[in-house]
Structure 1
Amino acid sequence: MLNHQRSLDAISNNLTNINTAGYKKDEIRMNTFQEELILVSNRRKTSGKFVQTYVDTSKSNLEQSSFEFTESPFDIGIQGNVYFNIQGTNGNVYQTRCGQFELDGEGYLCLNDSGRVLGQNGEIYIGNDDFIVDNEGNILNENGEVIERLRLSYIPENADVTKVGNNLFSYDGNMTIPEGEKYDIIQGCFEKSNVDANKEITSLMETQRLFEASSAVLKYMDTINGRAASEIIKL
């Protein structure tokens, strides 16, 4: 029941963010019954109480998604396993596939309120909307001069990442782009979420049925236990 509840929460969150650019869907790692008992036992040792709560055991699916073409110079997509870097307002650097950028009040390229986009030399100053990004990540001004190059990080498709908000990630592994790794930077489009509405709705209905079935079994067991207790009292 706990695993089904986790799945329902993850599916609901996926459907909520189906239109969030760069969003990567969450998938639940199912625990075995033995693993659940270990979790309960450890909590009992540390808290002294037999109270079952559960931790988030979801994993972000980093599969490539499709693009939506807008022709806006501020929309930038990536084909491949590399990510943009964002200097968060808290000073931390995060990775993202959300390429719906804009200019802040000082003329720096930023991702809404999440922070500024990083280049090889730090935060990227653009100043206006007359710029070009080539397929390698070089940013050129109106005269065709390279003014900066996007700072890109490599994250394997099967990596375990920590999701920050809806479309930022934190990864502890080696993010150096491997030699020979192929990728393309595409200006004028952004990557959509990789949530498939039909699959998620089908999973939602199936998981809901399984949860209800598990709940019915549990109620039946409670009834049996209640009857057994009554018979013992009579004896």
Structure 2
Amino acid sequence: MQRAFYNLTQSMLNHQRSLDAISNNLTNINTAGYKKDEIRMNTFQEELILVSNRRKTSGKFVQTYVDTSKSNLEQSSFEFTESPFDIGIQGNVYFNIQGTNGNVYQTRCGQFELDGEGYLCLNDSGRVLGQNGEIYIGNDDFIVDNEGNILNENGEVIEKLRLSYIPENADVTKVGNNLFSYDGDMTIPEGEKYDIIQGCFEKSNVDANKEITSLMETQRLFEASSAVLKYMDTINGRAASEIIKL
């Protein structure tokens, strides 16, 4: 009985984590460059061995648990705006942002702007990095070519975007403000193809229809587990009452 209680409770916790991830995905469906979270389930097998009078009885059960929450890094589509500050990436490379804490993070959010000092920045997350450090633009009269070179109004190259490679199946850590941290080698492999596209930004890769379907299914599973748990609790209470009467 106690094992059943444990399994049902664990199941509810798994479903709750899934619900939290789905809700967060739906909240960020319109966030540029957002990569959806996916809850990965796994199983482990536990052996119960009872030894009595030289006889061994082995029982097995398989239990599902939350293995990890992983960001889905699949490429999404673009929204074209014609704003020079909106920059999209086609391929497995990322922008680098100098965070407000001094650390360097990666992002696919290309909705940039100028800060009060004329540097290219990502809202309040930090400044965009080029090959030589923070990128000073000064005004909106600039061009970014498909290799990431930044040209001023005279057609002179003033900087080049600092880009980092992250494979699509990589495990990244979300640090907030649409930024990632990755511990692997981020050197762009020789021959790796990518394009920088000015005048657009990459949209979230959240599919609303799929997320809503998953939300409904997971909610039903959560409620079913909750109902069974309450029923078992009632049965357990009745059994205890009968024992007391004896």
* Residue 42 of structure 1: how far off its partner (Å): 33
Aligned 8 A contact 1:153 1:177 in 2: yes
Q: What do the CA deviations read for 1:22-74 (whole angstroms, capped 9, x no partner)?
A: 11111112243669999999999999999999999311111101100000000
Match of 1:200 in 2: 211
Q: What do the CA deviations read for 1:56-101 (whole angstroms, capped 9, x no partner)?
A: 9311111101100000000000000000000011101010000000
Pair 131,42 (structure 1): closer, same or farther in 2 beyond 3 Å: farther
- The range that moved more, 50-59 or 67-76, is 50-59
* Residue 144 of structure 1: how far off its partner (Å): 1.3
Aligned 8 A contact 1:22 1:167 in 2: yes
Aligned 8 A contact 2:14 2:65 in 1: no
| Contiguous gaps of at least 5 residues in structure 2 | 1-11
Pair 36,11 (structure 1): closer, same or farther in 2 beyond 3 Å: farther
Q: What do the CA deviations read for 1:164-192 (whole angstroms, capped 9, x no partner)?
A: 11411000000000111110000000001
Pair 190,41 (structure 1): closer, same or farther in 2 beyond 3 Å: farther
Q: Could you tell me which of 6, 12, 17 is aligned with 1:6? A: 17
Measured in 2, the distance between the counterparts of 1:43 and 1:6 equals 44
Q: What do the CA deviations read for 1:198-233 (whole angstroms, capped 9, x no partner)?
A: 111110000000000111111111112112111211
Seq. identity, %:
99
Aligned residue for 1:56, secondary structure, equals: strand
Aligned residue for 2:105, secondary structure, equals: strand
Greater Cα radius of gyration, structure 1 or 2? 2
Task: Normalising by structure 1, report the TM-score.
Answer: 0.89
Aligned 8 A contact 1:23 1:166 in 2: no
Aligned 8 A contact 1:96 1:169 in 2: yes
CA RMSD of aligned residues (A): 6.4
Number of matched pairs: 235
Measured in 1, the distance between the counterparts of 2:179 and 2:53 equals 31
Aligned 8 A contact 1:44 1:51 in 2: no
Measured in 2, the distance between the counterparts of 1:142 and 1:233 equals 88
Task: Normalising by structure 2, report the TM-score.
Answer: 0.85
Aligned 8 A contact 2:48 2:58 in 1: no
Q: What do the CA deviations read for 1:78-125 (whole angstroms, capped 9, x no partner)?
A: 000000000011101010000000111111100011110000000001
Aligned residue for 2:204, secondary structure, equals: coil
Aligned residue for 1:37, secondary structure, equals: strand
Measured in 1, the distance between the counterparts of 2:105 and 2:53 equals 32
Measured in 1, the distance between the counterparts of 2:236 and 2:244 equals 12
